[in-house]
Structure 1
Amino acid sequence: MVILDVTIINVAVPVIGRELSASLTGIQWITDGYTLVFAGFLLTGGVLGDRWGNRRVFCAGVAVFTVSSAACALAPDAPVLVVARLVEGLGAALIVPGSLALLQQTYPERDERSRAFGVWGSMAGIAASAGPLLGGVLVSTVGWRWVFLINLPVGAACLMLTMRYVERSPRLPGRRPDWPAQCAVVAAVALLISALNEAGRRGWADEAVLAGLGLAAVAIAAFAVRERLARSPVLPLSLLRSRAMSGGAVIGLLFNFAFYGMVFTASLDFQHQRGYSALSTGLALFPAAAMTMFASVLSGRLSRRTGDRPLVVSGMLLAFLGLAVWAAGGSTLAYPLLVAPMMAAGFGTSFALTGSTATVMGAAPGSRSGTASAFFNTTRQVGSAMGVAVGGSLLASATVYDTGLRTAMAAFALAYLTAAGLAWLCVPSKAERA
């Protein structure tokens, strides 16, 4: 549900924007409001999972997510929809850390855990691949509100299955949320995404945009200082000293920035410039997401033979080549020529997901599994929000549309290339893993 709500909305927001009279900035907030709260509260979700038990917090998140999805479907205007998406993001922030922590708890042996993470990634891939197509079908037939209503039966089934089949997880009552640090995280994410969203309307040199970026940096610094002084830090700085932990998290940020930024930018391009319907846009984006269906499972199986480093590096290089082709061709490329670049980006991103997940989770002690999962997914969701904001802002601020599209795709390609370099330095080799 969490990943589906990231990708399904991309083909729906242009229609939502027209029906609710939302501006481009409003469309970005319908997408990014969810991701902003999701990213901002993931660390708190991880700490609460460690403190109260991951299964309990996971189920609470599913309940919040399901109820807020109903509110999204009933929203009469754009502001109400944005608020409902914020609450939905809070539910997602409680769900995701528990999902990985429960896998960590259930599969303590490394090879079995890698396969489990591969299945976890493939489920995300199925959601990512189904999102644009399912969104197009729903918008074109029963309307955009069903993009959110579809979560209701899924959420109910998830709650029942979890309560029946997932064992209770241990609780650590001494683990308390660090609310000053949490406020700093939310402020940093909100300021950063707000500044990037406003850059498309105000321009990158606008004083408000620059002030937002500066204040975001101050909030990050305040978080670091608080964590150094806190008795029970939400994210112990000792974890960040691990090259695998910090490097794997940055890799996750970069490939989410590139992939979800590409999907959002392509969705706008297909509907606003090429004249595709919502359903046609979903079909057009399907090659990018379809490759994620099996790439995670494949990498989970291969990691036993090769280790994680070759898989992450090769996945990022493949995705880089795909978007570099799109950046070179720009808006002049016919759609058939975009299929291979989109497939490369989808496959490469998902191929690297399992290895980067295993790297981060393997670098943390079991008592910090919820925190490690939350940290990794926080950086990924910040990357997603940044990708949407940067892609939309570059298209909106460019005087020539083709220049904005080429610049966006070049930025996403560069992110993949940087991730490949970091993976070579930070992801353990097979010998180091042993």
Structure 2
Amino acid sequence: MRKQLSFPTRSSRLALLATSLGFVLICLDVTVVNVALARMRDSLNLDSTALEWVVNAYTLAFASFLLSAGALADRFGARRIFAAGFAVFTCASVGCGLSAGAAMLIAARVLQGIGAALCVPSSLALLGAAFPDPQARAKAVSIWAGTAALALGAGPLVGGVLVDRFGWPAIFLINVPIGVAGIWLTVAHAPDTKGHAARRIDLAGQTLAVIALVGLTYAVVESGRLGWTGMTVLAGLAVAIVAGGLFVMVEARHAEPLLPLALFRHAAVNVSALTGLSLNFGYYGLMFAMSLFFQSARHDTPLETGLAFLPMTAVVTVANVASGSLTARFGYRLPMVVGQALAALGYLSLAFVRVDSSALAVALPLLMVGVGVALAVPSINTAVLTHVDPSWMGIASGVLNTARQIGGVLGVGLFGALVRPEFDDLAEGLHHAAILAALVTLASLVSIVLGLRTSGSIVTDDRARRLSSSPRE
């Protein structure tokens, strides 16, 4: 009979609690904002493009600064950067709640994204330091992701209640007590990783990354209003391509690059990044599109919208924990495959949902998507932590999460262009968006099957990683 794993020390448990609170804060914000979109639109007189920017301003800043945040965690220590991210996010949440117009709200959302970017890579680095045993680490990562999944699950319902009873600003102000508790817990109890004082910040790479992602986001978001042939949309795409190309050139020559290209010599890193992109592309895009579909086409209240999302989000925690157990026993490849297959099936089923569809007909596809995504998330994090040298965990987790957030930006932008409240047939737009999500997910599934030749045993692969040289060597 296999002996159950236990957490090594009290400090490890407290580190897990601190990092989980940080991820809870970030993920709670994602789902509650989607439920409040219609009320924000009416209260602040926002159009569809402004609504997309409210969502994407956060995600864009998150994606843009994740890599630098990982480097900062490696240089100054994960605990210091993690606490700083908590503080920025909490203060920005106050700014969001007090916003009186689109400009202030979007600016505060950018600051929230920067705070979130500081938190996520350092949280994974803290977990790597607190749980050196690979199997215990897999369990810890699954719990870390599971608590965040709990926030995702509770977010629509909590958001619906808050918006209905207290108005949309309450969804941001609820972050304040969580943030204060997380900051105190991190400073008082979380262990730290060793800082590398020689690690330099790649300002040129960071600047080019921001320019490229802003150009891409602008083109995708504005394409819904101007069309793909609009001059400013084409200009945004051109800026993204040029800046992206220059970014690769700079990173290839930089002594301390923002994105060490040698990281991509591991198939597990490449596949995990692509899988993460596809996960957020479908999930974030679906949350945005379905929220508008529920409230603009079916005329549901925010609370009813939150309840409609519950089948997709409520099962996430259980599936996350199950994924950790599967990963510890069979390796990370199996949860990836099963998860992506389920998610693709769920997206395809949404292509048959109509405005007058029953609650069950809507709930079942959302349930498949929720379980599928939740199975895959812990396994991709474990795959990256397993294959990367410990001194590069901050940057590696930043790469993975950057890919995920880019997927979210693209999903919200493209789905928002297909499902706009001023369109006559929102259901048809939702069908096109669901099919697009299914195709991207299936492409990721093919990359997993072809790119990961082994099951991904965390014990065997962790030993292999320790014996191999780090990317900087």
TM-score above 0.5: yes
Whether 1:136 aligns to 2:183 is no
Task: Identify the residue that residue 207 of structure 1 maps to in structure 2.
Answer: 231
Task: Identify the residue that residue 259 of structure 2 maps to in structure 1.
Answer: 235
How far apart in 2 are the matches of 1:76 and 1:399? Answer: 30
Task: Identify the residue that residue 376 of structure 2 maps to in structure 1.
Answer: 352
Whether 1:409 aligns to 2:431 is no
State the 1:387 CA deviation. 1.0
Task: Identify the residue that residue 194 of structure 1 maps to in structure 2.
Answer: 218
Task: Identify the residue that residue 420 of structure 1 maps to in structure 2.
Answer: 445
How far apart in 2 are the matches of 1:134 and 1:274? Answer: 20
State the 1:62 CA deviation. 0.4
Task: Identify the residue that residue 58 of structure 1 maps to in structure 2.
Answer: 82
Whether 1:381 aligns to 2:405 is yes
Task: Identify the residue that residue 75 of structure 1 maps to in structure 2.
Answer: 99
Alignment of 1:101-250 (within 5 A): 101-250=125-274
Secondary structure at the residue paired with 1:175?
A: coil
- Bigger mean CA offset, 300-309 vs 83-92: 300-309
| Structure 2 residue corresponding to 1:335, chosen from 340, 359, 372 | 359
Distance 1:399 1:12, change over 3 A: closer
- Bigger mean CA offset, 400-409 vs 310-319: 400-409
Alignment of 1:197-346 (within 5 A): 197-331=221-355, 333-346=357-370
Secondary structure at the residue paired with 1:65?
A: helix
Distance 1:398 1:271, change over 3 A: closer
State the 1:270 CA deviation. 0.1
How far apart in 1 are the matches of 2:242 and 2:116? Answer: 27
Task: Identify the residue that residue 15 of structure 1 maps to in structure 2.
Answer: 39
Deviations 1:360-405 (A, max 9, x none): 2222110000001111111111111111111111123977433311
What percent of counterpart residues are identical?
38
Deviations 1:262-293 (A, max 9, x none): 11111010000000011110111111111111
Q: Give the CA RMSD over aligned residues.
A: 1.5
Deviations 1:201-231 (A, max 9, x none): 1112323222212321222211110000101
- Bigger mean CA offset, 153-162 vs 238-247: 238-247
How far apart in 2 are the matches of 1:176 and 1:357? Answer: 25
Secondary structure at the residue paired with 1:171?
A: coil
- Bigger mean CA offset, 183-192 vs 211-220: 211-220
How far apart in 2 are the matches of 1:137 and 1:37? Answer: 28
State the 1:108 CA deviation. 1.5
Secondary structure at the residue paired with 1:174?
A: coil
How far apart in 1 are the matches of 2:121 and 2:395? Answer: 7
How far apart in 2 are the matches of 1:354 and 1:405? Answer: 28
How far apart in 1 are the matches of 2:204 and 2:456? Answer: 41
How far apart in 2 are the matches of 1:184 and 1:410? Answer: 33
TM-score (norm 2): 0.89
Whether 1:429 aligns to 2:427 is no
* Structure 2 segments unaligned to the other structure (5+ residues): 1-24, 461-473
Task: Identify the residue that residue 53 of structure 2 maps to in structure 1.
Answer: 29
Which one-letter code corresponds to 2:431 in the other structure?
A: R
Report the count of equivalent residues: 434
Are the counterparts in 1 of residues 353 and 362 from structure 2 also a CA contact under 8 Å?
no
Which one-letter code corresponds to 1:144 in the other structure?
A: W
* Structure 1 segments unaligned to the other structure (5+ residues): none
Are the counterparts in 2 of residues 135 and 279 from structure 1 also a CA contact under 8 Å?
yes
How far apart in 1 are the matches of 2:456 and 2:417? Answer: 44
State the 1:150 CA deviation. 0.5
Are the counterparts in 1 of residues 293 and 427 from structure 2 also a CA contact under 8 Å?
no
How far apart in 1 are the matches of 2:303 and 2:52? Answer: 20
Secondary structure at the residue paired with 2:351?
A: helix
Deviations 1:333-364 (A, max 9, x none): 33320111000001100100111111122221
Distance 1:28 1:299, change over 3 A: same
Are the counterparts in 2 of residues 299 and 352 from structure 1 also a CA contact under 8 Å?
yes
How far apart in 2 are the matches of 1:7 and 1:381? Answer: 14
Are the counterparts in 1 of residues 332 and 455 from structure 2 also a CA contact under 8 Å?
yes
State the 1:84 CA deviation. 0.8
Are the counterparts in 1 of residues 297 and 426 from structure 2 also a CA contact under 8 Å?
no
Deviations 1:61-114 (A, max 9, x none): 101111111111111111111111111111111011111111011112211111
Distance 1:305 1:89, change over 3 A: same
Are the counterparts in 1 of residues 57 and 106 from structure 2 also a CA contact under 8 Å?
yes
Which one-letter code corresponds to 1:335 in the other structure?
A: A
Task: Identify the residue that residue 16 of structure 2 maps to in structure 1.
Answer: none
Which one-letter code corresponds to 1:8 in the other structure?
A: V
Which one-letter code corresponds to 1:287 in the other structure?
A: P
Which one-letter code corresponds to 1:90 in the other structure?
A: I
Are the counterparts in 2 of residues 320 and 416 from structure 1 also a CA contact under 8 Å?
yes
How far apart in 1 are the matches of 2:413 and 2:56? Answer: 8
Which one-letter code corresponds to 2:311 in the other structure?
A: P
How far apart in 2 are the matches of 1:427 and 1:137? Answer: 43
How far apart in 1 are the matches of 2:31 and 2:212? Answer: 24
Secondary structure at the residue paired with 1:328?
A: coil
TM-score (norm 1): 0.97
Are the counterparts in 2 of residues 48 and 177 from structure 1 also a CA contact under 8 Å?
yes
Are the counterparts in 2 of residues 249 and 380 from structure 1 also a CA contact under 8 Å?
yes
Secondary structure at the residue paired with 1:430?
A: coil
Secondary structure at the residue paired with 1:144?
A: coil
Task: Identify the residue that residue 370 of structure 1 maps to in structure 2.
Answer: 394
